[in-house]
Structure 1
Amino acid sequence: MGLIEANGNAPADVVRRQYLASAAGDLAALRATLAPDVEWTEMAGFPLAGTYRTPEGVTSNVMEKLGADWEGWAAHDDQYVVEGENVVVLARYTAKHRGTGKQLNARVVHHFVVRGGLIVRFEQFVDTALVRDAAQA
């Protein structure tokens, strides 16, 4: 995709800032990428399945819980496909479950919709069986 301008408002730039903030554990910076009425959907079968609204709702119900349950949780944004306000990211999750000690390495696809420099919608697609298996003894 090339270099991404760190402070740009192009859809891919906004999404990249979200991944960087997540990787740094900077939840305030992550919330700054989300629209006030964001709809953030974690896939059915994922431990945190559901749709969360508001930047605070997303970080408290998703990022903070992932950090509590998984050591080193990371979403690696490997490849971007951009069409207008739609940004699809081919990514990977890596982590170690705190309860079981099992490693997770799962491919994932994230679909973002970015309007006005903010993420308004997110949908996750992941092999939930891999996540479940790492979380079960």
Structure 2
Amino acid sequence: MAEFTESTAPADVVRRQYLASAAGDLEALRATLAPDVEWTEMAGFPLAGTYRTPDGVTSNVMEKLGQDWDDWTAHDDTYVVHGENVVVLARYTAVNKSTAKSIDVRVAHHFVVRGGLIVRFEQFVDTALVRDALTH
């Protein structure tokens, strides 16, 4: 396990990010992000926009998801790795705190990993399914 936790291989870095997120360990999640990270949530997604810095990502994305959703989880299942590019096919599950509606939606995430850190992230998701869960 020590090899995995210290590995700078792009897929290992990305996997550590998912594990930290699932555990709610924002410090460990920030440790996977480059100081100048660019993290883009898709247009139409409730948190749409590009966030920079590890603190900017966790405060504007992960902490807000935790405020608005119960049990927000990104279930990573398939990794496609090409050099510094890692594409992950995953699924979001959660229950919106305001509407009590749940989501179970497929997503794709594109990461760029350099020097053992995530420098770029882009989300692809069916934003309509997420918005439906926000509607009373």
**Which TM-score tier does this pair reach, normalised by the shorter chain?**
over 0.9
2:131 matches 1:132: yes
DSSP 3-state at the match of 1:105:
strand
Q: Alpha-carbon deviations, 1:107-135, whole Å to 9, x = none?
A: 00000000000000000000000000011
Report the RMSD for the aligned CA atoms in angstroms: 0.9
DSSP 3-state at the match of 1:30:
helix
2:114 matches 1:115: yes
For 1:10 and 1:60, the matched residues in 2 are separated by: 26
Which AA in structure 2 matches 1:103? S
Instruction: Count matched residues.
Output: 134
Q: Alpha-carbon deviations, 1:13-63, whole Å to 9, x = none?
A: 000000000000000000000000000000000000000000000000000
Gap regions ≥5 residues in structure 2: none
Identity of matched residues, %: 80
For 1:5 and 1:28, the matched residues in 2 are separated by: 17
2:91 alignment counterpart? 92
For 1:32 and 1:90, the matched residues in 2 are separated by: 22
2:13 matches 1:28: no
Q: How does 1:1-137 map to 2 (within 5 A)?
A: 5-137=4-136
Which AA in structure 1 matches 2:7? G
Shift in Å at residue 101 of structure 1?
0.2
Which contiguous aligned blocks of 4+ residues in structure 1 show a shift greater than 2 angstroms? 4-7
For 1:7 and 1:76, the matched residues in 2 are separated by: 22
Which AA in structure 2 matches 1:51? T
Q: Alpha-carbon deviations, 1:44-103, whole Å to 9, x = none?
A: 000000000000000000000000000000000010000000000000000000000001
